[in-house]
Structure 1
Amino acid sequence: MSSDPWGRVDETGTVYVRTADGEKVVGSWQAGSPDEALAYFERKYEGLVVEIGLLEKRVRTTDLSSKDAMAAIDHLREQVDAHHAVGDLDALRGRLDKLVELVEARREERKAQRARQSEEARQAKEALVVEAEELAQSDQWRAAGERLRALVDTWKGLPRLDRKSDDELWHRFSHARSAFSKRRKQHFAQLDAQREDARRIKEQLVAEAEALSGSTDWGPTAARYRDLMAQWKAAGRAQREHEEELWNRFRGAQDVFFAARSSVFAERDAEQAENLKLKEELAGEAEKLLPITDLKAARAAFRAINERWEAIGHVPRDARPKVEGRMHTVERAIQEAEEAEWRRTNPEARARAAGLTGQLQAAVDKLKGQIEQARAQGNTAKAEKLERELEGRQALLDQALKGLQEFGG
């Protein structure tokens, strides 16, 4: 008979293993010596030790599921409980019991982790829903649309919740996206309609602008172009494919008109500048007639200068008052000279002036006689009254004599 601390072989070849519950039959060995029998079943025991060690390592270091781990533990426990090995089977059961505790602890830990992850996923999805519902009211179509697409990608990367919760949140999320898409579609449909209206209006403006491009009615046409530009701005933008083409036509028509106007105005300005130079020369020639000494010659010379003046044409508006004022000064001097000459040579006026002078001279002489008479009579008061009257008559006489001198005598 052969034995070791954990098993023995009896005379019949039966192999036993020692356990806490007493000896258990391992099996029958008839192929060799008892030592060979114990060695064989000891190797079986070492095999179980290795398998349990490997399972312990897998449970601790890998993400082996609790279900698979328990299945492996049960399988090993069946082998241990079958007593087909010689060794400390109670120690193996103890290790398997501890492994069960570890698996259960890991299962609870994973359960708690899944609960945390689920709650985090719920909060993340609720946040996505809230943001999507806010974006659904946005008018920033491009930015909001891009953000909603990014939210969908984020949603797809989150774990699923329980079916009811996940479906409810997805319904809100999807509804927000649909609401935004509907509003965006309505907006761009309205925008397309507005741009179509703008296109029709601008085509009419272009047609009128092109029709006016050949006009030479400079002032009114330029004013009309300003009106057309104001209408263009008020019309809004047409579709992109039409806007640039219409604008090029509209601007091109204006450029034709304003280029022609600028050319004409440049020629006119050059002509008027030359006219101003000529009129300034004529004004200087007219000013040499002053002062008027020979009225007849001055009148004839001024008439000839004025005829040349009238033939010259327009001068720049801002220079007109000064140069025309110089001519008017000479013209007024000639007119004053003509009036003086007329007064001097008018017989009727001279006769009236002479008659008035004679009457005033007679009145003065009479008053002088009356004053002398009053003083001779000693009537001082009457004399003083007559002297005051004489002063007035004498002043009138002096004025009349001066006027008579203008007539040459």
Structure 2
Amino acid sequence: MSSDPWGRVDETGTVYVRTADGEQVVGSWQAGTPEEALAYFERKYEGLVVEIGLLEKRVKTTDLSAKDAQAAIEHIRHQVDEHHAVGDLAALAKRLDELTGTVEARREERKVQKAKQTDEARAAKEALVTEAEELAASEQWRSAGERLRALVDTWKGLPRLDRKSDDELWHRFSHARSAFSKRRKAHFAALDAQREQARQTKERLVAEAESLSGSTDWGATAARYRELMADWKAAGRAQREHEDDLWNRFRGAQDVFFAARSGVFAERDAEQTENLKLKEELAAEAEKLVPVTDLKAARSAFRSINERWEAIGHVPRDARPKVEGRMHSVERAIQDAEETEWRRTNPEARARAAGLTGQLQEAVDKLQKQIDTARAAGNDAKADKLARELEGRQALLDQALKGLEEFGG
């Protein structure tokens, strides 16, 4: 019979292991010596020690799931409980119990961590839903659309919640995206319709602009082009592929007309500049007639100058008031001379002036005699009153005499 501190082999080849509950049968050994039997079952014990050590390391250093770890523990525990090895089986059982406690602690830790992750994921998804619902009302089509796409990518990177919660949040999230897409589609459909309407309007404006490009009715056509430009701006933009072409045609038609008008106006401006020079020379010639000394000669000379003036034609608009004003000044001077001459030579006016003068002279002489009579009679009050009346009549007489002098005295 052979034995060691943890086991023995009896004379029949039965192998025993010593435990706190007494000896337990490990197995039967008939193939060799008792020593070889003990050595065999001791190696099995050492194998269990190594296996437990490896499992302890995996539990501490890897992400081995609690379920798999517990299954491995139970597998080893079965061998320990069935006494299939010789050694300190109680120590192995104790290590397995401690390892089970570690696994359970890890299980609870992961449960808490998972709950925390779930709460964080729920909060993150709720925030995504809230932002998506706010973006659904935005009219910043490009930036809002890009942001919604980024939110989808963020959503995909978050852990799933329980099926009900995840589905409810996703439904709100998806609904917000759909609402935004629907509004954006409606907006661009309306915009396309507006641009098509603008294209049709601008086609008509281009057609009219091209039809007017050969016109020589400079004023009316230029005014119409200004109206067409206002209509063009009010029409809005057409589609990108049409806008530039339509504008080039519209602008090109105007350029043809205004280039032709500019050529004509340049010739006209040159002619009017020359006309201005000629009229300034005539104005200077007319100004030499003032002051008027010989009315008849001045009138004849001015008539000749005016005939040549009328034959010259237009001058630049901004120079017209000044040069015409010079001629008008000479014309007014001649008219004033004519009026003076008319008053001087008018027989009826002369007779009226002479008659008025005679009447006033008689009144003055009469008042003077009355004053002399009153003085002689010592009636100074009456004399003073008559003297004041005489002053007024004398003033009228002086004025009438002056007017009579204008008729040659």
1:13 aligns with 2:9: no
1:8 shift after superposition: 1.9
Render the CA deviation track for 1:29-48: whole Å, top value 9, x for unaligned.
33333333222222221111
Change (3 A) 1:40 1:254: same
> Would the aligned equivalents of 1:367 and 1:386 in 2 still touch at CA under 8 Å?
no
What secondary structure does 1:71 align onto? helix
Question: Matches of 1:362 and 1:144 in 2, distance apart?
Answer: 108
Q: Which of 28-37 and 171-180 deviates more?
A: 28-37
* 1:8-407 alignment, distance < 5 Å: 8-342=8-342, 348-349=347-348, 352=351, 356=355, 363=362, 371=369
CA RMSD, 1 decimal: 3.4
Change (3 A) 1:376 1:42: closer
Letter paired with 1:188: F
1:127 shift after superposition: 1.8
Question: Matches of 1:366 and 1:48 in 2, distance apart?
Answer: 172
Q: Which of 268-277 and 158-167 deviates more?
A: 268-277
Letter paired with 1:131: E
Q: What is the identity percentage for the equivalent residue pairs of Structure 1 and Structure 2?
A: 80
1:388 shift after superposition: 8.3
Render the CA deviation track for 1:236-293: whole Å, top value 9, x for unaligned.
2222222222222222233333333344444433433332232222211111222223
What secondary structure does 2:164 align onto? helix
Render the CA deviation track for 1:37-88: whole Å, top value 9, x for unaligned.
2222222211111111001111111111122112211211122223232211
Render the CA deviation track for 1:346-386: whole Å, top value 9, x for unaligned.
6x459837974996699589859x949x8699668799999
Question: Matches of 1:262 and 1:114 in 2, distance apart?
Answer: 84
What secondary structure does 2:321 align onto? helix
1:387 shift after superposition: 8.4
Letter paired with 1:202: K
> Would the aligned equivalents of 1:196 and 1:239 in 2 still touch at CA under 8 Å?
yes
Normalised by the length of structure 1, the TM-score is: 0.85
Q: Which of 24-33 and 172-181 deviates more?
A: 24-33
Q: Which of 193-202 and 397-406 deviates more?
A: 397-406
Q: How many residues are treated as equivalent by the alignment?
A: 407
Change (3 A) 1:78 1:315: same
Structure 2 unmatched runs, 5+ = none
Structure 1 unmatched runs, 5+ = none
> Would the aligned equivalents of 2:361 and 2:397 in 1 still touch at CA under 8 Å?
no
1:92 shift after superposition: 0.7
Letter paired with 2:169: L
Change (3 A) 1:353 1:40: closer
Question: Matches of 1:57 and 1:277 in 2, distance apart?
Answer: 115
Change (3 A) 1:352 1:113: same
Change (3 A) 1:42 1:327: same
Question: Matches of 1:383 and 1:56 in 2, distance apart?
Answer: 158
Question: Matches of 1:191 and 1:352 in 2, distance apart?
Answer: 92
Normalised by the length of structure 2, the TM-score is: 0.85
1:23 shift after superposition: 1.2
> Would the aligned equivalents of 1:343 and 1:349 in 2 still touch at CA under 8 Å?
no
> Would the aligned equivalents of 1:353 and 1:400 in 2 still touch at CA under 8 Å?
no
